[in-house]
Structure 1
Amino acid sequence: MKKLINDPRAVVGEMLEGLVSLHPGLALLEGEAVVMRSDLPADPAARQVAVLSGGGSGHEPAHAGYVGPGMLHAAVAGDVFTSPSTDSVLAAIRAVAGPAGALLVVKNYTGDRLNFGLAAELARSEGIPTEIVIVSDDVSLRDTVEPSRRRGIAGTVLVHKVAGAASASGASLAQVAREAAAAASALGTMGVGLGACTVPAAGRPGFTLGEDEMELGLGIHGEQGVRRVPLQPANVLTDTLLSAIVDDQRLGAGDRVVLLINGLGGTPAQELAIIARRALAFLRERGITVERAWSGEFLTALEMPGCSLSLMKVDDERLHRLDAATSAPAWPGSGRFAPARRIAPARPVAHASDATESRPADMEPVHQALLAIADAFDAAETRLTELDGAAGDGDLGISLVRGAAAIRALPPSSWTSPSRALMALSEALRRAIGGSSGPFYATALLRASRRLADHPQPDARAWAEAFQAGVEAVAELGGAGPGDRTMIDALRPAADIFFRELQAGGTPAEAWAEALLAAERGAEATARMKPRLGRASYLGERALGLPDAGAEAVVVWLRALSRFIR
């Protein structure tokens, strides 16, 4: 188990101390794992209806992150995935409630129902009016248990917001409870897990999944889902989750909803945005109006990879509650978004040779040579990905595959002359290849294109000069030289030896064979070089043992050109 903790037994207390230290609007209740507002009136008679929630820890930012004006007055934390005690809940009620009473928003788990329920009963016996609203939004259990026994999961956060806003408006306990209960009944959530999480006290994952499996319909306590299914693309998965909610909640054209895209703790914002993209499209296709949408981590399961989607049906009054101001640290904001995806028009770039022209016969070998490079990039993807992943970010293989696709997509106007072909290739690779390789190749090709501008039918010497010019451009742009463990270690000897062998009277094919051999030796030598530039330089001697991926990529395309050099 690798976690940034001190002692598994101290996780909850230290976590709450850190949270409260970061937010001046929060306070810790002495002797209890309770976070409460620090701005409550000293006179209990001046207080609004207190809204409280809580449960086991491990769901951060829930529940303490939703404590603040306009949301919760207090949150009660238990141990990781363990209900807080009755005494802790009662202590929280006593600390924040006044004559206006308290509403407890409780997720539908046995431990939470028992401990919050008993605390409510004890609070009533002390003269504190107390009501409970149970949230059971997990639609994955619709074929397993009756609705009242479903679990409460991420949609609970929306109930917190509705109840907190109702309290902040000055509503009575009965009214706050009524609005919260109505919001809970208009709510459905469905989750999916791509892997397990590790409870600190357990020290090992709760279950294991194959690389091509996922758990559909899981809760928030690291447990398995309702069923294990094959891994699905994001669009298909989003449709699966939303279809279950829409069917369960009987949503259809004309209905108004808000959407919550919740990461379970180990899902990047990038992936949640991809889910959000499809979710909004799915709902629009069905005529369901999405009034507000939020994406992020709201109620997690430690570091579990996966997400859940929640839909809450709204009317103007409920939407007003969701729009009401709050300063709770974890509430993400208004949730407003553009009614349609905005796409700004790009400024067109005109080229003198953009008109479609037929390809001259002498350009056919150039065209075929570049297509051979594209095929070579495709074939080398796995190897280049492995090498780049060992010392970099692992994207070189897929980047060059995108470059291969860009080569094949070059329009007929690209093939009017060698100079124009290199210029078009520079533009295409600049757009297609990410990371550092894109700018390097684009710059080299641009410089080489200019060198060939006065050679409509360049001979071998002109090509050699263009090759050297391109390599020099790469060196200038990146600041690398031989011995720095970069693509230059393959490029520089290849370009220099090709030019030198031609000068010595060798045929182009002979010169190119020597150039290729020099590039291969240069790339091989990088395995023994300590990197000085790029991401690999951060690894120091740990990068030794494998050749540089960029240098190997140079060998790939040089080798592909061999049969075209005559």
Structure 2
Amino acid sequence: MSAKHFINDPTKLVDSALNSVTLTNPNVALDPDHKIVYRRPNDSHPPQVSIISGGGSGHEPSFASMVGPGMLSAAVAGTIFASPSAEQVRRAITSRVQTAEGILVVVMNYTGDVLNFGMAVEKARASGTRVEMVVVGDDVGVGRTKAGKVGRRGIAGTVLVLKIAGALAAQGRSLEEVSQVAKLTADNLVSVGASLEHVHVPGRDLTQEDKLELGEVEIGMGIHNEAGSGRGKMDLPELVKKMLSQLLDASDADRAFLNVNSNECVLLVNNLGGVSPLELGGITAEVVSQLRENWSIQPVRILAGTFMTSLNGLGFSISLLNVVNTNIGGPSMIELLDADSEVTGWSAPIKKTTWEAKNKAVLTENAEDSAQQAKPSGLKIDPQVATKALTTALQTVIAAEADITRYDTVVGDGDCGIGLKRGAEAILSHIDKQPLREDIVSSLASIVNVVENVMDGTSGALYAIFLNALVKGLHEQGPGDATPEVWAKALKHSCDALSKYTPARPGDRTLIDALYPYVETLGQTGDVKKAADASRKGAEGTKGMKASLGRTVYVGGSLYEEVPDPGAWGLACFFTGLAGQKPNEEGWESI
């Protein structure tokens, strides 16, 4: 677990975070003494049932960022992972929300929360305020046996209860109806989480007792660092399979809390705080795929994002909600989930009409239009000779991947070698399926499409621009034989085109330091081996050269003095292979 934080004082952290909610949502205000975020009074809003929730801090955006029109009326925060006091909750009930239409308190099933919120509810009732309380326990991770009388813990599925209840209250429904539907929603929820690591609470000593090993995952971990149901080393598909089994396997007597309706259910994939949006997308895709293929479930709504965290927990949770009849003669659960809200913590902006349209239309393209087509130029090569030379050049780049990656790890972000290798392998695969033809322009044009589709980043763009210009330059040289002189003129044309899009020139420590010497020497001598030697010398000359462009500019230290520019070296390896040479222990030798 990481013990690095920008704010290490837990009191200051909670107070400043609560204040930030009022900065990002003008609808809400803060009672700092009691850590209550509440809706600002507004005479234009008709009276409605007030909904209060809350719990320990560290679960943001739950609950403070869910205060606002269409969701919560107030949220009460404790310290990190600790319940707010009964007095804090009482203040929220009695002085921070409308009471005329009644109040619904929704709390997760943790002993401290249930007791403190419950105590405040009873005090309010004793004073004549109409208050109902719904306790949400959706976590199946622990199971009946271990949970005992305490029951299931509340985790991210609670957010669905808050959204549905909040939307219903906003429609002016009675306390009895809002409370009934909130309870019905809670009864139709199952959730389970998993994490790769426990979290560190700012201000606390760092302990390593429960540290998970590399590759190990804990299933059923709670949102306060509580232990789960088990650990193991497994990949994502196996993990998701186990999690869905805990949620859906009717034969598991310890966890079969709900028979999920395969015809209509809602899926919520929740980020526990430390998973990148990119990876959460991959997780969501895996969950949806397994639900469809293994359980014949196709959710009517799929929500994915950060709803309830465990600080920066490196994990996620899966929640499933059975969509059932609310029995109040009004909006359905789906309509309530889709209803508008003005809170920063609810990230589900897709409209009901969009979901229900089920639009499956896609744009298609003509196969002939999807790839660059080049008219025959009459510029001829020997396909066998060209294929052998190009294959050797690409294999030389692939063999150099480890060195290029090592160089780029020193002076960049470490992806240059992998990117070049990926491009080289794709071109080899392409020419194996579509052998080079006698007309070089037609063959090169098809290779350009491979580069554009496979190679990304700065180097991919540079190569794509260069090769597209090379196609044009070669076309202008035809018809005839593609001699070294012809190549030199076309390559010069490509260099000129490339210079329009990048300020890189020789001496800037880029691939240009290997490209220009090759083109210049080829033009002067017509000798591909001498041109390759010049390219290699240019690449070697980048050792110690201070960069003017690229990520190397931002890398400190003096390690750049010890390695060549990785892009220049990769290009030099290509040119050397093209000339029929390969590396050995002493340098390069002819093949």
Task: Indicate the TM-score class for this superposition, using the shorter chain for normalisation.
Answer: 0.7 to 0.9
Give CA-to-partner distance per residue, 1:113-132, whole Å, 9 cap, x none. Answer: 22212222222222223322
* Partner of residue 551, structure 1: 568
Q: Is it true that 1:318 corresponds to 2:333 in the alignment?
A: yes
Larger relative helix fraction: 1
Q: Offset at 1:437?
A: 1.6
What is the identity, as a one-letter code, of the residue corresponding to 2:178? Answer: V
User: What is the one-letter code of the residue matched to 1:314?
Assistant: V
- Matches of 2:259 and 2:392 in 1, distance apart? 53
CA shift digits 1:392-447 (9 cap, x unpaired): 44433332233124211244264333333222222210121001222221222233
TM-score by length of 1: 0.88
Aligned length: 552
| Contact 2:265/2:322 (8 A) holds in 1 | yes
1:536–1:543 Cα contact (<8 Å) kept: no
> 1:265-280 counterparts in 2 under 5 A?
265-280=273-288
1:469–1:80: structure 2 CA closer, same or farther, 3 Å change rule?
same
Q: Which residue in the other structure is 1:530 paired with?
A: 546
Note if contact 1:366-1:418 (Cα within 8 Å) is conserved in structure 2: no
Say if 1:264 and 1:307, in contact at 8 Å, map to a contact too.
Answer: yes
Which of 514, 537, 544 is equivalent to 1:521?
537
CA distance in 1, matches of 2:397, 2:234: 28
Q: Look up the SS of the partner of 2:468 in the other structure.
A: helix
Deviation at residue 57 of structure 1 after TM alignment: 0.9
Equivalent position of 1:505 in the other structure? none
Partner SS for 2:11? helix
Match of 2:291 among 283, 308, 317: 283
* RMSD (Å), alpha carbons: 3.2
Secondary structure of residue in 1 paired with 2:88: helix
Counterpart position of 2:343? 328
**1:404 aligns to 2:424 (yes or no):** yes
* SS at 2:182 equivalent: helix
Q: Percent identity?
A: 36
Q: Does 1:74 align with 2:83?
A: no
Preserved contact between residue 260 and residue 321 of structure 2 (Cα < 8 Å): no
Distance 1:426 1:487 in 2: 18
- Hey, what does 2:318 align to over in structure 1? 309
Report what 1:65 is aligned to.
65
Aligned-pair distance for 1:153?
A: 0.6
1:203-239 CA deviation, whole Å, 9 max, x = no partner?
6477533432222221212445332222414x44444
The residue identity in structure 2 corresponding to 1:126 is S
Contact kept? 2:37, 2:64, Cα under 8 Å: yes
After superposition, where does 1:43-442 map in structure 2 within 5 Å? 47-95=47-95, 96-142=97-143, 144-146=146-148, 149-202=151-204, 204=206, 207-233=210-236, 235-247=237-249, 248=256, 250-251=258-259, 254-285=262-293, 286-315=295-324, 317-335=332-350, 336=352, 337=355, 339=358, 342-349=361-368, 362-407=382-427, 408-410=429-431, 411-412=433-434, 414-442=436-464
Specify every segment of 5 or more residues in structure 2 that has no aligned partner in the other structure, as ranges.
250-255, 326-331, 582-589
Shift of 1:25: 0.5
Question: Which one of the candidate residues 8, 16, 19 is aligned to 2:18?
Answer: 16
1:388, 1:394 within 8 Å by CA — same for their partners in 2?
yes
- The TM-score normalised by the length of structure 2 is 0.84
Please report how far the alpha carbon of residue 528 of structure 1 lies from its aligned counterpart in structure 2 after TM superposition: 1.8
Instruction: Name the amino acid aligned to 1:544.
Output: Y
C-alpha spacing 1:435/1:293, structure 2 compared with 1 (3 Å) = same
Change (3 A) 1:230 1:485: same
SS at match of 1:69: coil
| Counterpart-to-counterpart distance in 2, 1:447 and 1:30 | 64
Q: Structure 1 residues 353, 322: closer, same or farther in 2, change over 3 A?
A: closer
Residues 165-184 of structure 1: per-residue CA shift (max 9 Å, x gap): 23223333333222111111
For 1:244, the aligned partner's letter is: Q
